[in-house]
Chain A
Amino acid sequence: MAKKSDSKSLYENLSGELRRGALVLAVLAQLKTEQYGYSLKQALAEKGLEINEGTLYPLLRRLEKQGLLKSDWRVVDAKRPRRYYIISDAGAEILEHLKQDWQFLIGTMDKLL
């Protein structure tokens, strides 16, 4: 039988996996308007999705590398330069497909659970 700590760790791993895919969807949806890293984190948190910095910021770079986001460095409020991200055309197209998949998945899972 699995120990309590093993079971907790297993739950955390599975829960992490479950969230991972949804995070991409949430980030893409949120970046229809331009945001820098910290403002995006805040915006997601305000809507109830708390994301660890070590997960969110590297994710932004990965999505940009995949061509789903665009970014550039700018000084907006006379503070230091910040990197601003926005969804790309390819990202917007994929977001639409992902949204449909998400709706379908929710419907299916509702029936299953």
Chain B
Amino acid sequence: MNPEEMIDGYIVEVGSLLPKKGREDIQRELRSLIQDEVETRAEASDRDVSVSLVSDVLIEFGSPEEMAVQYRGEKYLIGPRWFPLFQMVATIVFFVLTAVHLVAFAVSYWGIGAVNLFSPGRGLVEAYLQAIGISFAIITLIFGLLERYYGSDFAPEIETEAWKPTMIQPADDPDRINRWEVITGVVFSILFVGAALIFLAPKGILGWVITDAFRPLLPLFVASVIADGVVSGLVAWRGRWTTLLRWLDIGQSAFGIFVIYRINAVPQIVTVTLFNQVLHLALTIVLIVMTVLLVIKIGKQLWLWYFGKSWPSKSLPNFKMS
């Protein structure tokens, strides 16, 4: 890693702990401030700008967590250490609940008959809003408790000694991962498989929804989700992407496409005929998206293999003047 890459990595790490609003401006200013400090020290000591000089400066700036805490202000329910994960979990839960309620609505509407969306206490809209409200409250409570009991581990006075600039991952490192995102992905895979097995089992609550033609494919579907979870788990355990893990990921993506293709080939997937048509359309879209993503993954891997560097898609902020 050269000095410039070290600064970039630091800025990207600070940015990842800040809210989107104002993030780019803070990153731009931070870069300018670090460069000022580094250049002045280099001139004063008649040294070249080196990794060790940048490292000294970054130690004084503090760990990315410390810096983010200062920029966000000190009063928060969920601090920068937990906020990105909180945001991600809340977003996933929101989309999952929305999807589940849309399916419930479709099933009720086409399968049983029209439901009164606004009937007090029983309507789906009310149930949906309630579910969103309760879920958000529970997630906030969990992360609030995590912040209360584990957030202080990252408070400036404790973190200063533990953090070293050598821990910075280069901003454009193709093998860089966000461990928390990967772990959350694994957790959701487990929850998804668990829910599928419980609800879609022959005697499960939604067991009646799927047809006998689709049921034999259920283990295959569960296996594809498990394969995804296993690869994510390996990536989280390893702490970064490796060539083997990338090819395993490509393999499990291809397997996922094969499974979705097999499911989509079943004429009657669910017992509700009209919903069946919607499902086929949705699966076709999923197949197209997954195939495009797979082609991109393979393309990136071949690019990396051939050129020895990552696909040019650095997510660094634009440092031009506003």
> Among B29, B61, B71, B157, which residue has the most Cβ atoms of chain A within 10 A?
B29
Fill in one digit per residue for A93-105: 1 if any B CB lies within 8 Å of its CB, else 0: 0000000000000
Taking the complex as formed, is A67 at the interface, i.e. its CB lies under 8 A from any CB of chain B? Answer: no
Contact A37 B33 (CB under 8 A): yes
Q: In the complex, what's the smallest C-beta–C-beta distance from A103 to chain B, in angstroms? A: 28
A52 to B62, CA, bound (A): 9
> Among A9, A54, A74, A81, which residue has the most Cβ atoms of chain B within 10 A?
A54
> Among A37, A53, A81, which residue has the most Cβ atoms of chain B within 10 A?
A53
A55 to B71, CA, bound (A): 9
A91 to B33, CA, bound (A): 23
A57 to B34, CA, bound (A): 11
A57 to B71, CA, bound (A): 8
Contact A82 B36 (CB under 8 A): yes
Q: B71: which A residues are within 8 A, CB to CB?
A: 58, 61
Contact A37 B36 (CB under 8 A): yes
Contact B62 A53 (CB under 8 A): yes
Taking the complex as formed, is B60 at the interface, i.e. its CB lies under 8 A from any CB of chain A? Answer: yes
Taking the complex as formed, is B317 at the interface, i.e. its CB lies under 8 A from any CB of chain A? Answer: no
In A15-53, the 8 Å CB interface with B consists of: 36-38, 52-53
* Given known A-B contacts A52-B62, A53-B60, A83 and B70 have beta carbons under 8 A apart: no
* Given known A-B contacts A38-B37, A52-B60, A75-B321, A57 and B30 have beta carbons under 8 A apart: yes
A73 to B71, CA, bound (A): 19
Taking the complex as formed, is B91 at the interface, i.e. its CB lies under 8 A from any CB of chain A? Answer: no
* Given known A-B contacts A58-B70, A73-B322, A82 and B157 have beta carbons under 8 A apart: no
Contact A73 B156 (CB under 8 A): no
Contact B36 A12 (CB under 8 A): no
> Among B32, B67, B156, B320, which residue has the most Cβ atoms of chain A within 10 A?
B32
> Number of contacting residues on A, CB 8 A?
21
Q: A73: which B residues are within 8 A, CB to CB?
A: 28, 321-322
Fill in one digit per residue for B264-284: 1 if any A CB lies within 8 Å of its CB, else 0: 000000000000000000000
A19 to B133, CA, bound (A): 42
Contact A54 B40 (CB under 8 A): no
Q: Which A residue sits closest to B26, measured CB to CB?
A: A61
Taking the complex as formed, is B147 at the interface, i.e. its CB lies under 8 A from any CB of chain A? Answer: no
Q: B37: which A residues are within 8 A, CB to CB?
A: 38, 53
Q: Which 6 A-B pairs have the closest CB atoms?
A: A38-B36, A58-B70, A54-B62, A58-B71, A81-B321, A53-B61
Which residues of A does B touch, CB under 8 Å? 9, 12, 36-38, 52-55, 57-59, 61-62, 73-75, 80-83
Which residues of B does A touch, CB under 8 Å? 26, 28-30, 32-33, 35-37, 40, 60-62, 66-67, 70-71, 73, 156-157, 319-322
Can you list 24 contacts pairing A with B, beta carbon distance less than 8 Å? A36-B36, A37-B36, A38-B33, A38-B36, A38-B40, A53-B60, A54-B60, A54-B61, A54-B67, A54-B156, A57-B33, A58-B71, A59-B70, A61-B26, A61-B71, A62-B73, A73-B321, A80-B32, A80-B319, A81-B319, A81-B320, A81-B321, A82-B32, A83-B32
Q: A37-B29, A57-B30, A62-B73 are in contact. List 6 more A-B contacts (CB 8 A).
A: A37-B32, A38-B37, A54-B62, A54-B70, A57-B33, A73-B28
